[in-house]
Structure 1
Amino acid sequence: MHPEILDQEGYTSASVDEAPVRELFPGVRLRPLWRGASGAHANVLEMDAGASWPRRDVHEPGPEEVYVLAGTFNDGARDYPAGTFLHAPAGSWHVPATATGCTLFLFYPEG
């Protein structure tokens, strides 16, 4: 073990189980994990079976990166099973939904 790793400025960790939960829409919950000084941030999004976004999810001002941790995610056009990575460039949009329920890791590299 290298305790000096933990002394590096900015080196942080977060537990999904301990992250605060915010319900965005019925059956859709966000758990913020990290926010950087430049505005970049990471979250876990949990969607219950049958849940969907009520409108387009537009990626502004920057891109969104998604990794499907569990279940099957649908972007309004196709299904993506666990293990799938998606990159949505700034200005793009989708309508998130899931028939089975899913858990996503979301990363926003720009603020």
Structure 2
Amino acid sequence: MLEGFRFLSITDVPPKEVKEGITAKILKEGTAEDPSVFMELTFAPGAAFGRDEHAELEILHVLEGEFSDGDAVHGPGTVIIGHPGSVHFPASSSGCRVLAFHPQG
């Protein structure tokens, strides 16, 4: 094992429902020393988060399916960067998986 590294399998992380039809697998929780959070979000077909306003930076990477931000639909490979003060309406008509990184927690 490499010193200073932590390894986990995403298949071992249990999903937690965050909204109806949307689950999160928290891969890295924030701490006092490092508030960053890293998670996989899964949207069931037709799931919608509603209005999502960001006080801090959010970086999303669409892994599979189609992710809508309320303005456009984004497919696999798309990286979406939401700056502080930005607002979007996360949803997916067909279902999707997205990695979400919140550097400030």
> Above 0.5 in TM-score?
yes
Match of 1:7 in 2: 2
* CA drift at 1:7: 3.1
**Alignment RMSD, CA only?**
1.2
- What is the identity percentage for the equivalent residue pairs of Structure 1 and Structure 2? 30
1:17 aligns with 2:19: no
Moved over 3 A (4+): none
Match of 1:49 in 2: 45
Counterpart of 1:38 in structure 2: which amino acid? D
Match of 1:99 in 2: 93
Q: Secondary structure at the match of 1:7?
A: coil
Contact 1:14–1:34 (CA<8 Å) still a contact in 2? no
Cα displacement string for residues 31-76 of structure 1 (whole angstroms, at most 9, x for unaligned residues): 00013532101000000011101x311112x110000000000001
Counterpart of 1:104 in structure 2: which amino acid? V
Larger radius of gyration: 1
Match of 2:63 in 1: 69
Match of 2:53 in 1: 58
Aligned partners of 2:48 and 2:28: how far apart in 1?
24
Aligned partners of 1:104 and 1:77: how far apart in 2?
17
Counterpart of 1:95 in structure 2: which amino acid? F
Which ranges of structure 1 fall in alignment gaps of 5 or more residues? 1-5
Aligned length: 103
Match of 1:81 in 2: 75
Q: Which has the higher helix share?
A: 1
Counterpart of 2:75 in structure 1: which amino acid? P
